[in-house]
Amino acid sequence: MVYVLKLAVNDLKNIIRDRMFVFLFFAYPVMLIVFSRILVHLVAPRIEDVFPLAGKFSVVFMFFTIAIPMIYSFIVAFLILDERDEHLLAVLRVMPISRNSYLIYRMFFMSLFAFISLMIFPPLSGLLEGTEFSYFAYIPVAILFALFTPVIALLVSSFASNKVQAFAIFKIGGTVFMLPIFAFFLNLGNLKYVFSPIPNFWSLMSLESVLQNGTIDIVPLVIGFVYHISLLAVLFYIFNKKY
């Protein structure tokens, strides 16, 4: 536990030293909240006659819930890349904390902040006013979305040899992981399952139930957790084999 606290303090110091990390860690979540408030109170009323944006607030909320864990996964991935370049992962073999324990900590440290941001966002965004939204039903869904943070971070860390490649993977991954949004924006019905191989599709399915009915749809939630944990196991194995 002492080593975990020391690592956490060290991570926060590293984040504060880097302006980009500071922006992503502190400013970006605030910007999402501000943007959503502007969307609700300034933009939507002005374009209501042209495009009823208010009816799509739940989809906008889904978009932001995907973006939040991706923000923190970016930080984790680049922290790991820095440590890999400095050969810290090799040094861990002779440290009191095991390499696996360190990687597990690294993966889930930022997931905690992603979860906190996901829990703070709904009441502050203004996007869910007048819906059947239930905080109790939302908690396990927020955990599932937070679990997406280590999935992306490990994906990038495992296949990117340098930061340039990491940026490229993030761009491609960001596009792919946003695709399931169209299934809910366009009301595709059963055709939406075309996007089911994309892991956060199941997170969005769970979230849709919470937004529309205020209840948990246990089937997509369980599938989502199994899918994410399986991906984490595979990516963890690949990362350990390569580095």
**Is the confidence at residue 84, as pLDDT, over 70?**
yes
Of the candidates 68, 60, 62, 67, which has an alpha carbon nearest to the alpha carbon of residue 40?
60
Instruction: Tell me the pLDDT tens digit for each residue of 32-73.
Output: 888 888 877 777 776 666 566 666 788 889 989 999 999 888
Q: Report in angstroms the alpha-carbon separations of 74 from 13, 97, 230.
A: 17, 24, 21
The distance from CA 224 to its chain's CA centroid, rounded to whole angstroms, is 13
**pLDDT value, residue 83:** 74
Where in the sequence is the domain holding 54, given as residue range(s)? 2-242
What's the distance, Cα to Cα, between the start and end of the chain in Å? 25
Instruction: Tell me the pLDDT tens digit for each residue of 100-120.
Output: 777 788 778 889 889 999 999
Confidence (pTM): 0.87
**pLDDT value, residue 175:** 87
Instruction: Tell me the pLDDT tens digit for each residue of 212-236.
Output: 888 889 999 999 999 999 999 999 8
Contact between 221 and 141 under an 8 Å Cβ cutoff? The reply is: yes
Q: How many domains, the chain?
A: 1
- CA-CA distance, 202 to 219, in Å (whole number)? 9
**pLDDT value, residue 186:** 77
Contact between 79 and 160 under an 8 Å Cβ cutoff? The reply is: no
**pLDDT value, residue 50:** 58
Average pLDDT for 159-184 = 87
Q: Encoding tokens for residue 154?
A: 């490990």
- CA-CA distance, 227 to 199, in Å (whole number)? 7
